[in-house]
Amino acid sequence: MGLTFGFAPPTIIETGLRLGIFDLLDKGARSIDEIVESSRASARGLRILLNALVGLDLLAKDRMERYSLTPESAHFLVSGKPTFHGAFFMLTSERMLSEWGKLSSIVRSGRPAHRINEEESGTKFFQQFVENIFPIHFPAARCLAQTLQLSNLTAPASVLDLAAGSGVWSVAMAKESPHVTVTAIDWPGIIPITRKVTEREGVAPRYRFVANDLLAADFGSGHSIAILGHILHSEGEERSRHLLQKTFDALAPGGTVAIAEILVDPDRTGPLPALLFAVNMLVNSENGDTFSLDEISTWLDAAHFDQVRTVNAPGLARKIILATKPCR
């Protein structure tokens, strides 16, 4: 019975975000009347919504019936903060519920409701999404840049950022060292967002922007690092294998590929977020899935990478896979 309202928390949080509740309360505790005046929502509706957010530990309520943020909501749900994680919740009603509601027919037919890795439909989705998830991935991106010890660079290092989106993974690397230059590749409709974010972060002069599909784009050669940040799950096995081989060819000997993914256990019995995300790929892609470290390691081996290893990282991926192009 506890699962029956599993859709409720993200829907409630989305509504709070859309009504500006968390932004308002970031300025201090407010009474229901003050929140009604600011949000222009009904008193009854707000009372019920706010109390549910209290139950979710995302708001607090004092004896004077004033509502305030908790440390978690203050950190993650106030727009404009560098730690804002509200982007995924904003997809709940208009995107997730409408498409997941077709799950029975999707499972029967094997055909998705949406094809997230096809340019036309994928561009429309990611144009509204990639910039907003920058704060979600940046801690892991910064961790990766530090793991690769880029601050110790004394010579130029070329980074290849594949399906760059906001550029979050390579931005962290460019900020770690002035010796880093980046080739960022993504669809023509997404590259303007990459450019915008890199300009905002002050690293755009060291970027070369390539507007093309990954399988058609020229990756160049001689790169020190290549990044596949949450890409393989939407590509499926066949395209992922091809992409890894193409990435291998673009790296210099001794170069490193970094892969961020939500990894599933080899027997696909956990962890639960990875199993649920596989269903999301069923709904939103033709061949996408979540994959295990063993599976991706096999693909890397077939592409002639070696030294496959993982590093721990904060955020969705938990672990980032690294592999090396041999020097021989």
- Say yes or no: do domains 8-76 and 119-324 share a fold: no
Alpha helix locations (H) across the chain?
8-18, 21-25, 32-39, 43-55, 71-76, 98-100, 103-109, 119-127, 134-147, 168-176, 191-200, 232-250, 272-284, 293-302
Q: What is the pLDDT of residue 54?
A: 98
Angle at 232 between CA 81 and CA 249, to 5 degrees: 115
Q: How far apart are CA 11 and CA 6, in angstroms?
A: 10
Task: Please state whether beta strands 223-229 and 157-162 pair in parallel, antiparallel, or not at all (unpaired).
Answer: parallel
List C-alpha distances in Å: 123 to 92, 137, 190, 303: 19, 19, 7, 29
- pTM of the model as a whole: 0.92
**Lookup: tokens for 313:** 């990282």
Q: What is the pLDDT of residue 114?
A: 82
Q: What is the pLDDT of residue 119?
A: 83
Q: Which of the residues in the chain have pLDDT under 50?
A: none
Q: Which residues contact 235 (CB under 8 A, 6 or more apart)?
A: 117, 243, 287, 288
Radius of gyration of the chain measured on its C-alpha atoms: 21
Q: What is the pLDDT of residue 6?
A: 93
Q: What is the pLDDT of residue 10?
A: 96
Q: What is the pLDDT of residue 126?
A: 86
Q: Assess contact for 165 and 116: CB atoms under 8 A.
A: no
3-class SS letters over 80-115: CCCCCCCCCHHHHHHHHHHHHCCHHHHHHHCCCCCC
**Lookup: tokens for 54:** 């209290």
Domain locations in the chain?
A: 8-76, 119-324
Task: Please state whether beta strands 180-186 and 207-211 pair in parallel, antiparallel, or not at all (unpaired).
Answer: parallel
List C-alpha distances in Å: 47 to 50, 52, 324: 5, 9, 56
Tell me how far apart the 2 most distant CA atoms of the chain are, in Å. Answer: 72
CATH classification code of 8-76: 1.10.10.10
DSSP state of 208: E
Q: How far apart are CA 204 and CA 195, in angstroms?
A: 7
Name the CATH architecture for the domain at 119-324.
3-Layer(aba) Sandwich (3.40)
Helix (H, G, I), strand (E, B) or coil at 227: strand
Q: What is the pLDDT of residue 202?
A: 97
Q: What is the pLDDT of residue 307?
A: 97
Q: What is the pLDDT of residue 264?
A: 96
Output phi, psi for 198, to 5 deg. -65, -35
Q: What is the pLDDT of residue 152?
A: 96
Q: What is the pLDDT of residue 240?
A: 97
